[in-house]
């Protein structure tokens, strides 16, 4: 009982500093996502640092961007959160992770991470494993796959060559579920992942921005988001607003004096 009490106390004290905690199980309810058949299903908990939604629908011939494939290749939503220990990722897609026809050309890609947002993706998190890569491994990537659409891709596809830095965790679902978002009959699959931020070394926590991107090996559809770790560094938008805010306060003070 005493141990439990101390643990609870530590949890309570740490609550204000605890930015995020997710169970990496492929169930995205802990991100605040729902399956009510409404557009609001995609909106995560307020704590999520950055996220983007691009829910499309249609048959295999339906254009996505840059490629085709309709719901079966639709990358629908990508979410990023982090705390002092981990970078957390969540992905919703219409692409079944078991898709592997044509020698893997249409199989799932890996999570790609670009520090500095300069188009060079330094790190990759291996999603499904295979081809000598360990599922959940974080790689310093020397060669990325590039998909079918050249410069129109938002980013790379799968880790082809790289050095294993350490282990994260990736869980994904292979049974499609319906009733998420307004295209209620469409099937959806989920990826949930975390990476210890210590594995990023000096890249992490310097206020440097990063991109996280995911697509499948054909890159028919992709999504990218831009979190900013080291949030103590104000973004340019915040800085620009500061003088206006100060001017407003000065004006208010003058009026009160007058």
Chain residues binding Ca ion by CB under 5 A are 23, 25, 27, 30, 54-56, 74-76, 94, 114-116, 118, 120, 221
Please identify, using beta-carbon distances, which residue of 79 and 115 lies nearer to Ca ion.
115
Report, in Å, the least distance between residue 199 CB and Ca ion: 16
Please identify, using beta-carbon distances, which residue of 105 and 203 lies nearer to Ca ion.
203
Report, in Å, the least distance between residue 80 CB and Ca ion: 14
Please identify, using beta-carbon distances, which residue of 91 and 107 lies nearer to Ca ion.
91
Report, in Å, the least distance between residue 59 CB and Ca ion: 12
Please identify, using beta-carbon distances, which residue of 111 and 242 lies nearer to Ca ion.
111
Report, in Å, the least distance between residue 187 CB and Ca ion: 9
Please identify, using beta-carbon distances, which residue of 76 and 126 lies nearer to Ca ion.
76
Report, in Å, the least distance between residue 66 CB and Ca ion: 11
Three-class HEC string of the chain: CHHHHHHHHHHHHHCCCCCCCCCCCCCHHHHCCCCCCCHHHHCCCCCCCEEEECCCCCCCCCECEECECHHHHCEEEEEEEECCCEEEEEEEECCCCCCCCCCCCCCECCEEEEECCCCCCCEEECCCCECCECCCEEEEEEEECCCCCHHHCCCCCCEEEEEEEEECEEEECCCCECCCCCCCCCCEEEEEEEEEHHHHHHHCCCCCCEEEEEEECCCCEEEEECCCCCCCCCCHHHHHHHHHHHHHHHHHHHHHHC
Report, in Å, the least distance between residue 62 CB and Ca ion: 10
Please identify, using beta-carbon distances, which residue of 30 and 83 lies nearer to Ca ion.
30
């Amino acid at each position: 009982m005493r141990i439990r009490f101390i643990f609870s106390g530590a949890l309570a004290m740490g609550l204000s500093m605890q930015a995020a905690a997710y169970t990496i199980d492929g169930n995205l309810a802990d991100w605040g996502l729902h399956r009510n058949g409404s557009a609001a299903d995609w909106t995560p908990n307020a704590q999520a640092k950055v996220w983007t939604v691009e829910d499309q629908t249609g048959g295999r011939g339906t254009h996505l961007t840059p490629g085709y494939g309709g719901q079966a290749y639709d990358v629908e939503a990508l979410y990023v959160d982090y705390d002092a220990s981990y970078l957390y990722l969540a992905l919703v897609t219409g692409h079944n992770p078991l898709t592997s026809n044509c020698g893997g050309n249409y199989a799932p890609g890996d999570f790609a991470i670009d520090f500095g947002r300069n188009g060079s993706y330094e790190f990759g998190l291996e999603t499904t494993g295979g081809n000598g890569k360990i599922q959940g491994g974080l790689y310093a990537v020397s060669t990325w796959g590039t998909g079918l659409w050249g410069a129109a891709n938002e980013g790379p596809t799968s880790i082809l060559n790289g050095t294993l830095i350490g282990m994260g965790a990736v869980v994904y679902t292979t049974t499609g579920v319906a009733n998420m978002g307004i295209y209620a009959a469409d099937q959806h699959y989920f990826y949930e992942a975390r990476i210890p931020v210590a594995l990023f070394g000096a890249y992490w926590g310097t206020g440097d921005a990063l991109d996280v991107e995911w697509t499948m090996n054909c890159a028919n559809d992709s999504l990218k988001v831009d979190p900013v770790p080291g949030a103590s560094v104000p973004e340019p938008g915040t800085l620009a607003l500061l003088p206006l805010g100060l001017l407003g306060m000065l004006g208010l003070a003058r009026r009160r004096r007058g």
